[in-house]
A and B are shown apart, each in its own frame.
Chain A
Amino acid sequence: MTSTATAAPPKQRRQRTISIGGAILIVIYTMLPIVWILSLSLKSPGDLTNKKFLPSHWTLGNYRTVFKTSLFTDALRNSIGISLIATVIGVVVATFAAYAIARLDFPGKRAILSLALAIAIFPQVALLGSLFSMWRAVKLYDTWPGLIIPYVSFTLPLSIWVLSAFFREIPWEMEQAAQVDGATAWQAFTKAIVPLAAPGVFTTAIIAFFAAWQDFAFAITLTSTNRARTVPAALAFFTGASQFQQPTTAIAAGAIVVTVPIIILVLVFQRRIVAGLTAGAVKG
């Protein structure tokens, strides 16, 4: 960072221009489709085919439609609750497992990694029917735990893989060094290791949350009412004015609404991840 500050003015200016230009390009690239969804959400259903980027008549009608029924509002509550709980449980369980895999020597380690990989790649469509019957038998059908459990199970493989790859690179000797310096084991762990592990853990958390947040297949198969139905499944229940009209504008409005929590989450998490990065920079 300091090297750019001391560089010659013209070079600095050029670098600044490139970085500003690059930043603008990136924002346009990532935001254009989102602005398009926003624009769709402000079109009336008949305006959908105006072949223009912007609505010819702006309307908030779709947002009113979305909030009119409990279908969407309940789904929003379910989505937030289920995804958060699944993320917390998933990250805790995955952290335990990944720590063991990266740090301890015990038989069965490769078997666990292989099992995780196998589960990660087994086609979900092949599981839906059986899971539906199982959940009905054990009374988990159409409940929060009925979705939380599969979400945790299916994000575990990736979480374990990411975290164990990450933990393997952490200089654990710093923990011992801290202990030698007189810190207790817990202090050594929280002061020396936690800051280094944070980026990996938060990366895993954001991936786990998004996986639960976006899932459609489990949500549509394992729920039947507003009790546990999440937003992606609820979107499938949206209708146009007639059965032959796509409720796309209303779906877009719903999508924009559920993007707000995502923005908040990303703002919080990217900070955490990046905070960990700077901590990581001093090591080695």
Chain B
Amino acid sequence: MMVLVGGLAACGGGGSGGTTTLQWYGPPDSAGATDLIVKSCNQQSNGAYRLVNNPLPSTADGQREQLVRRMAAKDSTVDLMTVDPPYTAELANAGWLTVFTPDERAQLLQGVLDSPTKSAVWKGQLVAAPWEANTQLLWYDKSVAKAAGVDPTSPDFTWDQMIDAAVKTGKTVAEQGNRYEGYMVWVNALVLSAGGSILTDNDKGRDAVPSLNSAAGKTAAEIIRKLATSKAADPALSSADEGASLATFEGPTGGFLLNWPYVYATIQANVKLGSVRKSVLDNLGWARYPEAVAGQPSTPPLGGGNVAISKFSKNQSKAFAALKCIISPEMEKQNILVSGNPIANGAVYDDPQVQKLFPMATLMRDSINAAGPRPVTPYYGDVSAAVQRDWHPQSSLNPDSAPAATAKLISNVLHDKRLL
């Protein structure tokens, strides 16, 4: 009972005098970049607002779940929120995000790369500010590439060449093949790279037209099946996430890996710790995402995080001021240096400190610039789940029938005619 009294008493505070408190909900950040940004912005605001950082659960699904529930209840205690790019359209379409005026838009997009902006726009209007941006690169073992006689940094390097090189040298191509969002990232990048798309007429909401049943869809399925049924497949492919695929790459069969740039710092840390051989770091090479079709430049995956203002916030103008501070180049630099997360502002990649942290910083920026978003639709979750369901496991994927079947499933699911 003593504990109960203590627990209830501890919750009192909060009602500070004249300063407006702004509640910002976003992913937890153990590196402390968010806390640093909040602190700096509060200082710069000169008491105009006091930004408070509230962590959401660590998984993207968990974050979305909380935000959707709170927005649906018109919760006014959320002022700012960090939204996963693919779910921005969903929240915007429901009318829960503040739409920015053309003038505000110009302020928020200053210096921001083009690709991240695509996921922050719904029906032609900016509904969130791109803050972090992410992309996958090809990581490879230089000795393996040399032994196979291929050059992954060549602009024409293709998936076919990579798989063949791995088979030839007895190594693996590690990818994220578990039935989860990371697999959708792979499928989407292959379809876009092959010149197609998973969905068209996205603005029509549930009447959007699935366009996976195309040559590009077939090419994507063929590449996945080829890898899955070849000797280059990671034995854990059908259940591998980012961490598992990195572990395969760090192991004795590592050859090629498609993954986010976080792996660079992680490999360094693991080598330092002694759990990974030093040669993995010494031989580590990086290149742009391989081509799906020879001669057709690839469209690498895009990730990141957008910051939006809640429609139900009672402090719209102050929230906008805080948002501008959060995405300012100065804070973006702090963010990438402290958290190691790639950011949406292009100029920051030229900073010497950033270049030192990421020797491949310029490649990262180019890759983000060339990257394509996952389908921008309020029904993104359904589209993704439908693809994951039909295209998994990879080894039984049929390139001739899967694209058509999935296209049909997507449209049935959007109209509540099928379960998912």
Contacts and interface: CB of A to CB of B under 8 A. Distances in A.
Contacts of B415: none
Interface string A221-240: 10011011000000011111
A206 interface: no
Contact of B243 (A133, A224, A239, A244): A244
A57 interface: yes
B57 interface: yes
A85 B10 CA distance: 18
A245 B275 contact: no
Interface string B242-271: 111001001000000001101001100110
A129 interface: yes
A95 interface: no
A232 B28 CA distance: 16
Contact of A133 (B6, B30, B66, B73): B73
A244 B73 contact: no
Contact of A237 (B3, B55, B250, B340): B55
Given A239-B30, A242-B265, A129 B250 contact: no
Contact of A144 (B8, B244, B259, B276): B8
A277 interface: no
B58 A46 contact: no
Nearest to B248: A49
Q: Which of A78, A225, A239, A240 has most chain B Cβ within 10 Å?
A: A239
A239 B7 contact: no
B47 interface: no
A6 interface: no
Contacts of A236: 57-59, 62
A65 B66 CA distance: 25
A135 to B, nearest CB: 10
A246 to B, nearest CB: 6
A144 B30 contact: no
A78 B241 CA distance: 33
A136 B74 CA distance: 11
A156 B265 CA distance: 50
Given A44-B273, A224-B54, A243-B58, 15 more contacts: A46-B269, A46-B276, A57-B275, A65-B30, A71-B55, A77-B3, A85-B1, A133-B73, A224-B66, A225-B11, A236-B57, A236-B62, A238-B28, A239-B29, A244-B243
Interface of B: 1, 3-4, 6-8, 10-11, 27-31, 54-59, 62, 66, 69, 73, 75, 241-244, 247, 250, 259-260, 262, 265-266, 269-270, 273-276, 339-341
Q: Which 9 interchain pairs have the tightest Cβ spacing?
A: A46-B270, A244-B242, A242-B262, A49-B247, A81-B3, A236-B57, A227-B11, A239-B30, A239-B28
17 contacts: A47-B273, A49-B250, A133-B73, A136-B73, A220-B57, A220-B66, A224-B54, A225-B11, A227-B7, A236-B58, A239-B29, A239-B58, A240-B30, A242-B340, A243-B341, A244-B243, A247-B30
